[in-house]
Amino acid sequence: MSLPKIELWDNARRRDTRREPSRTAPRHSRPSTRLVLAEDAFVSMLYMERRRAERAQRRFVLMLVDVKKLVERGQASSGLSKITNALAKATRETDTIGWYLQDSMIGVIGTELGDAKPKTVQESMLAKVRGAFEGAISPERIMEISVSFHFFPEEWEEGDSDHSANIALYPDLSRPQQSKRFALAVKRAMDIVGSAAALIVLSPLYAAVTLAVKLTSKGPVLFKQERLGQYGKTFTVLKFRSMRTDCDAKIHQEYVNQFISGKVDGKGCETGTPVFKIQKDPRITSIGRFIRKTSLDELPQFWNVLRGDMSLVGPRPPIGYEFRAYDVWHRRRVLEIKPGITGLWQVEGRSRTKFDDMVRLDLKYASAWSIWLDVRILLQTPAAVLIGTGAH
């Protein structure tokens, strides 16, 4: 979770400075020996700390100190060294200090938080930083500095509808390298051309499925559901309706929670193949069972791809209650790449029976992603659909 930026010098302290002389650092104060990392090194350390936190189930806080106004006023040389020295004195030796944004924002990674509440951690760190700054730089400069706190792992409550990730914790993902920007542009071009072509070429099939759904059950042809896209941003996914309109989602929610926690292995009772959906679901209509088996219910998602909510290739977009059941490391499948209609699990991983194995395939795709990998998965998808292994 993240908390709003905080001005280090509040109104009460500003009034006090009119009566008291400003305090500055002693001329002969010894500079700190703490290393202040460059931007690339600090972002790499933040990435590694997230990985450690996932494995060890430990929390950390990222404190960001915005010094952009000081730099813009040309006070970088005189003020920044004092600020970094003050931060070094106000934080523990085990905390990591570095440039989150070079010459604009300084970051501090604080670990070993224990069970302390975010508000308690924030108040403690803010008091130490404020005291260190008061003894190092003038009140006028302090008033130009703001601080924000960002805790990992992020926490969501049962009723939360917004599962958006705190991008401040993922600069390595939100600032793609120049080489990746070109590849991502090519991927987006493939999505636009591919989805537009599919919508046009498959229009007779769309019409046939629309008619079949309309004639066999009451209700709308399309099923709309809120899903989570990249960085946890919500979007409305489209599918041909395969269930009755009076269904309770609690049945699926309970099954998904058990599947993610490993209490069920996801094997179909007849074929022995793993599935992420309930077998012999009483909510499914007669035509719904057929369009699910043939993956025809997914065809409207080409419109989601054309809109940019999804990609042709990527992990399956989760539902909100599914995401809340995730372990911390499971969330990476939502963060690291845009969701897709087909993916590595659909063409290679249907022999995997555990949710953890499915997630590992999604993360493998995200880390090894390339245009050629997308092309290979797209070429393998028709065969996987025709065979129908794991489709229910």
Query: Does residue 297 lie within any of the structural domains?
Result: yes
Q: Which of 90, 119, 153 is the last residue of a domain?
A: 153
Q: Are residues 62 and 96 in the same domain?
A: yes
User: Domain holding 42: CATH number?
Assistant: 3.30.70.270
Per-residue pLDDT, 49: 94
Per-residue pLDDT, 189: 97
Q: Are residues 325 and 274 in the same domain?
A: yes
Query: Does residue 321 lie within any of the structural domains?
Result: yes
Indicate the average pLDDT of the chain.
82
Q: Are residues 198 and 144 in the same domain?
A: no
Q: Which of 101, 124, 153 is the last residue of a domain?
A: 153
Query: Does residue 164 lie within any of the structural domains?
Result: no
Per-residue pLDDT, 29: 45
Q: Are residues 135 and 77 in the same domain?
A: yes
Each residue's pLDDT expressed in tens, for the chain with a length of 392 residues: 455 566 555 443 443 444 444 444 444 444 456 788 999 999 999 999 999 999 888 899 999 999 888 777 765 556 788 888 889 888 988 899 999 998 889 999 999 888 889 999 999 999 999 888 888 888 888 888 899 999 999 887 666 778 888 999 999 887 766 668 888 999 999 999 999 999 999 999 999 999 999 998 888 999 999 999 999 999 999 999 988 877 667 777 888 888 888 776 555 544 444 455 555 666 788 888 899 888 899 999 999 999 999 999 999 999 988 998 899 999 999 988 999 999 988 888 665 568 888 899 999 999 899 999 999 999 998 887 777 554 54
The two tokens of residue 192 are 């636009």
Amino acid at 114: G
Query: Does residue 159 lie within any of the structural domains?
Result: no
Q: Are residues 256 and 141 in the same domain?
A: no
Residue 257 in contact with residue 276, Cβ under 8 Å? no
SS3 assignment for 251-310: HHHHHHHHHHHCCCCCECCCCCCECCCCCCCCCECHHHHHHHHCCHHHCCHHHHHHHCCC
In which element (H, E) is residue 224 found?
A: strand 222-228
Query: Does residue 81 lie within any of the structural domains?
Result: yes
Q: Are residues 126 and 184 in the same domain?
A: no
Q: Are residues 312 and 199 in the same domain?
A: yes
Q: Quote helix, strand, coil % in the chain, to nearest 5.
A: 50, 15, 35
CA distances from 271 to 9, 262, 266, 275, 296 (A): 66, 20, 11, 10, 21
| pLDDT one-digit tens code per residue, 129-169 | 988 888 888 888 888 889 999 999 988 766 677 888 899 99
Query: Does residue 166 lie within any of the structural domains?
Result: no
Q: Are residues 179 and 104 in the same domain?
A: no
| pLDDT one-digit tens code per residue, 75-119 | 555 678 888 888 988 898 889 999 999 888 999 999 988 888 999
Per-residue pLDDT, 78: 61
Q: Are residues 337 and 224 in the same domain?
A: yes
Query: Does residue 162 lie within any of the structural domains?
Result: no
The number of distinct structural domains making up the chain is 2
Per-residue pLDDT, 265: 59
Q: Are residues 230 and 102 in the same domain?
A: no
Domain that holds residue 63: 2-153
Q: Are residues 303 and 329 in the same domain?
A: yes
Q: Are residues 132 and 180 in the same domain?
A: no
Q: Which of 153, 183, 218 is the last residue of a domain?
A: 153
Query: Does residue 57 lie within any of the structural domains?
Result: yes
